Amino acid sequence: MLQRLRGFRDMYPEYMRARRIVFDKICSVARSFGFHEIDSPSVELLDLFRIKSGEEIVKQTFSFMDKGGREITLIPELTPSVARMIAARKDLTKPVKWFSFPKMWRYEEPQSGRLREFYQFNADIFGVSEIYADAEVMALAMEILDSLGLEGKYTMRFSDRILMENMLRSMHIDNIEEAFRIIDKKDKIPEEVFYEEMKKITSEENVDTLLDILRISGDIDAVLSKLEHFERSEVIANLKDLLSAYGKRAVFDLSIVRGLAYYTGIVFEVHDARGEYRAILGGGRYDGVVELFGAQHTPAVGFGMGDAVLELLMRREGVWPEEKIDMDYFVAIIPGFREEAIKVAMQLRKKGYRVDIELRERSIGKQMKYANKINARYVIIVGEEIKSGEVVLKDMESGEQKVVKVENIGS
């Protein structure tokens, strides 16, 4: 038999139902924060990611030549497409707050929480250079997790690329992009590999100093007092105060730099509190991307959250919705009354109920068994009584059965 590709998932109805509850919750929290939903193509020119995202992500793309000889790819992330959409519309009233929940693809080694095809919720704010927008998206990320029952089960950590860049430059490290790339991998690679890669761009002594700095995390004031670079301390302290106004908190942690090339300011990541899984979500400020599409300078900040680690964590914490199918009504049919039964089903469907109906000619006994299997709340048996506008209504929970007027059902 032909197998499913590795890192891809088939999703059956029970699972989809649970996912739908989670996805709807996430989108409704985004809407409550004043974000509007958008969508964009699943396939883009590979160059879009070459210019914007950095080498690392291009290595992971599902890319190919199309019939017109163009080098195209399934999207590995959404940020460049959204930035292009912003640049194309000069008439948008700023700030712009957009969210979306597309599928995306990365040719990574499939492992716990990392797949080759996944969904990623994105929320971004455009047109605000003030730290207020950073606080708003970070708070949104945390409110989403809290609303899913994960309060206290995750840690939001953040850092600042400006502060980090200044620090690296003061150590005469000039290849900042490469330094960020290596620092981002630090927790995933052995310390010797970190040394080796870093030593290609700076001295051994500097690598030691850097390792000390990267260990600094915790209370923002304490961390800032340990550093000589105060130029961003006000902004960072302000962010902490803003987050507490939202009723949220984040840990300042210099080891957070993020893998993508375009970040220019605050960067953040959320991990599960036990540190068992890969990042649940990540984001930050990327003030230079929109203008690469020929628009005016447009500051931007946002995050992306995949569905995979979120699901692992929700399952571990017992807050993943129950995976089952159910139905409001099942319409059972006595032979000879199919058309009347269809009419009854349609009346209830128009009232907004989920209604299944017998599509074969099974015995009533078998129809009842089926109704049980699909977890129908009520069964309506359409037979002789329909001539006087009545049917048998059975409550599948209590077992109670009575004859009722069709127009009185479900109103």
In the chain the first and final C-alpha atoms are separated, in Å, by 49
For position 306 contacting ligand HAM by CB under 6 A, the verdict is: yes
Which CB atom, from 265 or from 302, has the smaller least distance to ligand HAM?
302
Cα distances from 225 to residues 158, 182, 222, in angstroms, run: 17, 26, 5
Query: In the bound complex, what is the minimum distance in angstroms from residue 334's beta carbon to ligand HAM?
Result: 51
Q: Does 115 bind ligand HAM (CB under 6 A)?
A: yes
User: What does 26-57 look like in DSSP terms, one character per residue?
Assistant: HHHHHHHTT-EE----SEEEHHHHHHHT-HHH
CB of 142 to ligand HAM, least distance (A): 14
Angle value at C-alpha 26, between 24 and 28, nearest 5 degrees: 65
Site string for ligand HAM, 70-89 (x = CB under 6 A): -------xxx----------
Q: Determine the 3-state secondary structure of 74 from DSSP.
A: strand
Taking the CA atoms of 356, 359, 361 and 365 in sequence, report the sign of the dihedral they define. Answer: negative
Q: Which stretch binds ligand HAM (CB under 6 A): 106-114, 158-166, 192-200, 312-320?
A: 106-114
Task: Note whether 256 binds ligand HAM by CB under 6 A.
Answer: no
Binding-site size for ligand HAM (CB under 6 A) equals 24
Selected binder of ligand HAM within 280, 289, 344, 406 (CB under 6 A): 280
Which strand (E) or helix (H) includes residue 153? none
Q: Which is nearer to ligand HAM, 73 or 202 (CB)?
A: 73
The answer to the question of residue 368 lying near ligand HAM (CB under 6 A) is no
- The radius of gyration of the chain's CA atoms, rounded to the nearest angstrom, is 27
Residue nearest to ligand HAM (CB): 306
In the complex with ligand HAM, the residue whose CB is nearer, 283 or 299, is 283
Under the binding rule (CB under 6 A), the answer on residue 54 touching ligand HAM is no
Measured CA to CA, the distance from residue 51 to residue 6 in angstroms comes to: 29
Query: Binding residue for ligand HAM (CB under 6 A) from 98, 303, 330, 337?
Result: 303
Minimum CB distance to ligand HAM, residue 379 (Å): 42
Q: Any long-range contacts for 16-24 (C-beta under 8 Å, 24+ apart)?
A: 17/321, 17/323, 17/324, 17/325, 18/320, 18/321, 18/322, 18/323, 19/307, 19/311, 21/321, 22/148, 22/307, 22/310, 22/311, 22/314, 22/320, 22/321, 23/101, 23/119, 23/121, 23/307
CB 322, min distance to ligand HAM, A: 24
Report how far residue 271's alpha carbon sits from residue 291's, in angstroms, rounded to the nearest whole number.
Answer: 31
Supply the minimum distance, in Å, between the C-beta of residue 235 and ligand HAM.
18
Q: Which of 83, 96, 124, 248 binds ligand HAM (CB under 6 A)?
A: 124
Rule CB under 6 A: is residue 302 a binding residue for ligand HAM?
yes
Contact footprint for ligand HAM (CB under 6 A): 77-79, 106, 108, 114-115, 118, 120, 122, 124, 260, 279-283, 302-306, 308-309
